[in-house]
Structure 1
Amino acid sequence: MAFSARDYYVRLDELEQELKSLAEAVSHDEIARLKLLDLSRQSVASLESPVEIISRMYFEPHQSACLRAVLEMGLPEAVIGGAKTAAELATITKCDEKLIVRILRPLCCLGMFSEEGFETYGATKMTSALTSPKLAGGFKFMYDQAAACCLHLTEYLVKTDFEDPKGGCFKSTFNTDLALFPWLMAHPKMMGNFNDLMAAQRLARVDWFDYCNVKYILLEGYRGNNTPLLVDIGGNRGYDLEGLKKKFPEVNGHGKLIVQDLAPVIADITDLNEEIVRMEYDFFTPQPVKGARAYYMRYIIHDHSDEIAKQILKNVAAAMTPGYSKLLLFDFVLPDVGAPLLGSLMDVNMMALLSGKERTKREWTALLDSVGLEVVDFHMCGNISEGLVEATIKY
């Protein structure tokens, strides 16, 4: 059936209205919202020409550079509360007036600030988001450390004859003998930004306990009596346990929930529920908590190569009670075919920063099998890249 040019425009107008209506309808359903977002991105990808795609990628680093600059300049906080001229912003931030104009131009095009008139700028929803310490700190880490490694990645791969990175890209980028996490511990400000990133990731992603059958996976069969229910290994500031505790009152009770991390991270915790036990622990050493119902790791194994991941997993497996304990890994689970963009880019991010990797279902199964564990199930949330890998001791 042939359509005239007028028909196309009518259909485009109808589509515009339908998309606006649908976007509003799914705004309170995170899974549906993410599906619509994914469909929208697929539509954009099918419409962009090769030249448009490559041209857009030319300037993506420039956008990030502008955003990183305004965070350091304090412009988001200065604009909140009312539109201000570049001259007024210069007075508030002690930054050059003309620099402010040039830096804000592209960010206004991206909706991060609004252009209210000649050299006059206001706030948008994005501006408000940029004042969040978690989002701002997370972006600083991704720009200062992760992006720097990605920019250096090709040079590093050339030097290593294009071998899969085995731990040297970060060291080469920052001219250090330290890997990422020891380096962060030696740079407290950068460690703070990394911790902010871990917290910020919770703002945009679905938690495993929001879509999994927690009672079936975790609570059924629990032996109780305030014995350890869930040990969050490398749990940062304990956000996952806090969220689980709020949603499921059944897990209340001192000693049931334990967050483990390195001493500097545990010392940085300030607002965690007192019933959650804080424990200093290095997951390269034997697990001190024996026979818990479940051991949980979020975005830990993807930091490491298979060889190093096996060391971590063996320490967990040695503490597990066969037929009772479970290992729960909330991480990226890529499909064997047709991996989504976010998961694919995260794999490159892990490669550049840590020589880690995002794994497919086949790779997860093989890795766990190699340390005496077997996959019970992959609990996936629609087409979202993350999933909960449930595993037990292999008989």
Structure 2
Amino acid sequence: MGSSMSIPSSASIREETRQTAVLSESGLVTRQYRRAEIPDERNSLRLRVRFGTDAGALVNGFPSKGGVYSLFCSPMELDFLGLDRFETALPSSDPAEEDALCAKIRLLGAEWWPSLDSLWGGPPLLKEKVRFIGVACPLEEKVRFIGVASQGGLWALETNLEDCSNRQLGRIQNARDMEEKCRQIERFGGTFYADPSECPLLDFKSPVPERAAIHVLFADDDASNQTVARNLLTHLGFSQVTTVRDGKEALDFLLAAAEDKSQRKPDIIFLDTEMPVMDGFECARILRREFPYNTDYSNIPIVGMAYRNPMLENRERWFAAGMSGFLPLPIQERDLEQMLVRLVLRGRSRISLSGPSIEDAGRDASMMQEE
């Protein structure tokens, strides 16, 4: 059973280029690639866990009967297998433990191969060959990792795919939250910017015009959530952000904005549902139903935020309060952007003054789960 792969010769590089061109024609990749020339010590394939340039990891199990079970696993599947999402690992010296791992990855769809040589010398369309970018990659393409720190500022790292493969930087994307991602970026030599506008990897000079015009009101008593939200919104091009600590402060701000015509009203409101003084449910109810707020804000999109998914319990309470959507905490950039695009930029608020019926609540719950 082969334990490593040597640095490819020019002939083997040409062959790899030919094979990956076939992959491109099949639609699995969009460009012609050639193999990254990785030093021997970084290219050992006899590992239990090996990372590439994308989230997840290649997991190998070496059963006592011989051969190898191999599967590219997502971060969630790594958790299921009890494997570290950030550290490479060698096979266990205990055959029983290794057989137990093999049994679990077989449940996820792992395929058995007689040897590592047969695995990596197999058909060029092998799925793992495409996803495990150490085998085929465009060497000079830029890769960026950005982590927004909860206490302000951000961590940034830019490299190319060859280095990303060599150092297995795809593991950075295995982070569950921004703090974990920041720690990994720091670990691999990222740079910290106390002022995000000083980061050369971000474009603060050319915001999307319609995004720059959107005013966001964000209510949360957690200062770290406020900081993360402001940094993420700024990064996404939503530069007009007002933060308050509870529902009462949100109502005071909204009343002042309605009375002072020179003050810009928010276009969307994010409310934590578990704030002191006044929680997000009560604040949303007042905005939808009580004078004078319902004359100015009856149709404004209101997004509730919580660590629990309301679709699993008390969903009627969310819609009865007049919530337009749900954003899980801790905030993830992709979720935040999708919510803003759906409710503001597309103008798709689903809430009316009278509030949705139970039937509407069920329909919207299904739509939220799909999104």
TM-score (norm 2): 0.31
Structure number with bigger Rg: 2
TM-score (norm 1): 0.29
